[in-house]
Amino acid sequence: MKKVFICGLSSILVLLQTNAQITSVPVYLDDSKPIEMRVEDALSRITLEEKIAMIHAQSKFSTPGVPRLGIPEIGMSDGPHGVNKEIDWDSWNSAGWTNDSCTAFPALTCLAATFNPELSAIYGNAIGEEARFRKKDILLAPGVNIYRMPLNGRNFEYFGEDPHLASQMVVPYIKGVQQNGVSACMKHFALNNQEKWRGHIDVEISDRALYEIYLPAFKAGVQEGGVWAIMGSYNKYRGQHCSHHKRLINEILKGEWGFDGIVVSDWGSAHDTREAALYGLDVEMGTYTNGLTLSKNFAYNDYFLAQPYLEMLEKGELPQATLDDKIRRILRLNFRTNMNRNRPYGSFATKEHADVSRKIAEEGIVLLKNTNDFFPVHKERYKKIVVIGENAIRPLLVGGGSSDLKVKKEVSPLEGLINQYGADKISYTMGYGSGPPAYDRVIPSPYNADSLKREALLLVKDADVVLFFGGLNKNNQQDSESADRITYDLPFGQNELIEDLLKVNKNLGVILISGNGVAMPWLDKVQGLMQSWYLGSEAGTATANVIAGNVNPSGKLPFSIPQKLEDNGAIAFGTISYPGDSIRQIYKEDIFVGYRWHDIKKIPALFPFGYGLSYTTFDYGKISADKKEYSIDDIIKLSFTLTNKGNLDGAETVQIYVTQNNPSLVRPTKELKGFQKVFLKAGESKTTEISIPVKTIAFFDDKAHEWVVEPDKFTFHCATSSADIRSSVTVNVK
Ligand code: BGC
């Protein structure tokens, strides 16, 4: 009896204490209070040692928070095409979970090729839901580095060559992720446009090219997308590593653009405690000891922003204020993510996400050539469809480096075609073979190339139609992190194989799977060509749907494919421009990236930026402007009528490029300033309006350090690709 009484009394005491706590909840835990007030309150309670712990990794993908105060750990995951598998706390080995197989979404090149910002929002939301379900607070994505030349191993993770397209596509992705209470982490800031020597190459570039080409997508992500985190890049710019960079981070990102989130280092991209402390790095993440060497396990205390920083602070060698600025930013991120009690719970590897993935894949595939309506391959027309090529069966979600994914499901193109046409119609052989997936080295192919080829030549002999699936494969030097491609040609003897197959059977179409353009010496001889991408979980279903004509292709190239490598602006200036002399490189082509180079030099691309065919045809009406004259704060309203002339429903991305007629300095011949994907039923006609704020047609005056719109005549072109203008209208800007 007595015992029971004592128990009862202590329960009441606990209850009273709890009530007392409820009435005096600390400000930082009170979500009715403004975030900035909560930030200041939390900051005032955190000790110096706790602050130091917050700003560097405690494991491969997390920072510790402040357990004493109930401020949670921050958990991160790659990005950008799916949520990575769980790995060990302090090694890169798989943690062996059985419930972490995700949905793989198409690579960002594919998303860019849809030219459909609505799909980008849906993509961002779906991957955000997956990250949230997996209890991640930061998704290390999206990547927005500009496609400068076709050898960059990581172009597949980015949005192509044009700053306007990349900006339009990145903003909805970020918003979609973050509406789940998960922070996006836009990367790699900045000028990480190649993998070769990425850890130290020192980029020299004009301010004009920096502001007009390489920064706009980052700026849009910050100012329009409201991104909460950004990853600094490995390389240098003006002699300083970009992850702690006075100009890039302090002056431009946090100064000019007013970014209030955190800058996270790339894994091992911090190099100096003083610079990291002073030049804007908020969280140091790493691969090994101080992020840089392989020599030690559990080396987190040795990180530049760990013990060495603490010691310098204690000796008074570094100011407290910059540390507090980092803590404020991290707390803001906590309140936006894992301390936001209203965030949704997410969902994972669902049928809905697979459908999203398939839909984006279908809209991103680009039809490049279609002689005599080779595509769609109608089921009724053919008895024997022969499929050749390793990429028809190779798991393409494995590899590529940090974007490697463990997936719940990956439908290969061959599987998709068999599902579509039936196993009795489809015959397959590899034709060529590469090595097993390897990220940091080249493993030779275990196959005998001659016998693979011989078998393919035999099989295509009596085929009604041949579909060749080739391209690159996310192995080292084939679209992968940490190494660039070493040649513009297709690897593993594919060019010769295609030529040899054509000698036996001319009714052949090629489907290239890659994140980069490649040389196509056989182009004139093949009947059909599709540029496909690393398409994600539903790759095969989407591919088969487009090949069979269940889906009408509507993708457009997000980069130019030059005839030969030297036709690319960055390559044209020799090694000092790309890849550099191993220490330094100069972006000599300046603002003339991609189609801007092809235009100004009058070098036609093999396939231009913005190009892509459909199974139907579109008729372009004449473009008109709502006024003849505009001033700087106006919005120019352009309209045109588009008609679907064929018998199939379809979509066309109409592109608006602008030319300044008499600029005081050299400007690109034309630049993309607007686009609209118009969906039309067979025979339907639609008048579409595109609004272009006059301010967005400015150039960056690097002497005055400001954006300038000169009073002049400007011509707006309505185009179906960067090389095919359908009509133009000229207006006056006062
Ligand atoms: C990559 C980043 C990635 C990070 C973490 C780095 O090697 O450059 O993009 O987010 O690793 O995996």
Of the residues 506, 527, 555, the one at which a domain ends: 555
- Considering the domain boundaries, does residue 349 fall inside one? no
Q: Which residue has the tokens 């279903």?
A: 541
Asked, for residue 345, whether it belongs to a domain, the answer is no
Q: What is the pLDDT of residue 40?
A: 98
Per-residue pLDDT at 13 = 40
For residue range 488-522, list pLDDT tens digits in order: 999 999 999 999 999 999 999 999 999 999 999 99
Read off the pLDDT of residues 454-476 as tens digits, 9 standing for 90 and up.
999 999 999 999 999 999 999 99
Residues 271 and 329 in one domain: yes
Cα 193 to ligand 1 centroid, rounded to whole Å: 14
Q: In the predicted model, what is the mean pLDDT of residues 329-343?
A: 98
Please name the helix (run of DSSP H) or strand (run of DSSP E) that holds residue 209, with its range, or none: helix 207-209
In a domain, 77, yes or no: yes
- 100 and 74 in a single domain? The answer is yes
Asked if residue 225 is part of any domain, the answer here is: yes
Peptide linkage before 190 cis (omega within 30 of 0): yes
Do 69 and 162 lie in one domain? The reply is: yes
- H or E element at residue 501: helix 494-504
Same domain, 529 and 441: yes
Residue 375 lies in a domain: yes
pLDDT of 480 over the 90 cut: yes
Asked whether residue 58 falls in the same domain as residue 103, the answer is yes
The reply to whether ligand 1 has any atom less than 6 angstroms from the CB of 78 is: yes
One domain for residues 576 and 682: no
Q: Using the 3D structure, point to which of 523, 555, 587 is the last residue of a domain.
A: 555
In what order do the strands lie in the sheet containing 426-429? 366-370, 528-532, 508-513, 465-471, 385-388, 426-429
Is residue 346 in some structural domain? no
pLDDT of residue 699: 98
Question: For residue 2, what are its two tokens?
Answer: 């007595």
Other CB atoms within 10 A of residue 260 CB:
15
Q: What is the CATH number of the domain that holds 391?
A: 3.40.50.1700
Those residues whose C-beta lies under 8 Å from the C-beta of residue 627, and which sit 6 or more positions away, are 634, 636, 731
Kindly state whether residues 119 and 262 are assigned to the same domain.
yes
* 551/565 same-domain check: no
Identify the domain containing residue 657 by its residue range.
618-733
User: Are 563 and 438 contacting, i.e. CB atoms less than 8 angstroms apart?
Assistant: no
539 plus 629 within the same structural domain: no
Catalytic site includes residue 266: yes
pLDDT, mean over the chain = 95
For residue 378, CA distances in Å to 470, 657, 731 come to: 22, 37, 47
Residue pair 399/473 in contact (Cβ under 8 Å)? The answer is yes
Residues 311-325 have pLDDT tens digits of 999 999 999 999 999
Same domain, 445 and 540: yes
Ligand 1: residue of 145, 267, 288 to mutate (most ligand atoms within 8 A of CB) is: 267
Task: Please tell me whether residues 602 and 709 are part of one structural domain.
Answer: no
Query: Looking at residue 671, which CATH number applies to its domain?
Result: 2.60.40.10
Q: What is the pLDDT of residues 390-444, one digit of tens each?
A: 999 999 999 999 999 999 999 999 999 999 999 999 999 999 999 998 888 889 8
Give this prediction's pTM: 0.96
Q: Which atom of ligand 1 is nearest to the CA of 61?
A: 5
Model confidence pLDDT, tens digit, residues 207-226 = 999 999 999 999 999 999 99
Residue nearest to atom 11 of ligand 1 (CA): 267
Residues 220, 328, single domain; the answer is: yes
Confidence of residue 289 (pLDDT cuts 50, 70, 90): low
CB 207 within 8 A of CB 702: yes
pLDDT at 76 over 90: yes
CA-based nearest residue to 512, from 526, 530, 496, 524:
530
Would you say 631 and 694 are in contact if contact means Cβ atoms under 8 Å apart?
Answer: yes
CA of 465 to the centre of ligand 1 (A): 42
Residues 391, 513: contact at Cβ < 8 Å? yes
Q: Is 402 in the pocket of ligand 1 (CB under 6 A)?
A: yes
**Rounded distance between C-alpha atoms, residue 463 and residue 171, angstroms:** 46
567-612 tens-digit pLDDT? 999 999 999 999 999 999 999 999 999 999 999 999 999 999 999 9
Residue 11: its pLDDT value, please?
Answer: 42
Asked if the structure places residue 532 within a domain, the reply is yes
How many domains would you assign to the chain?
5
Asked if the structure places residue 145 within a domain, the reply is yes
CATH number for the domain spanning 329: value is 3.20.20.300
In 3-state terms the chain splits into helix, strand, coil percentages (rounded to 5) of 35, 20, 45
Q: Does residue 467 line the site of ligand 1, with CB under 6 A?
A: no
Q: How many residues are present in the chain?
A: 734
Contact 230, 185 (CB under 8 A): yes
Distances (CA, A) of 331 to 324, 504, 676: 10, 66, 39
Q: How far is CA 245 from CA 248, 262, 275, in A?
A: 5, 14, 7
The answer to whether the beta carbons of residues 630 and 694 sit under 8 Å apart is: yes
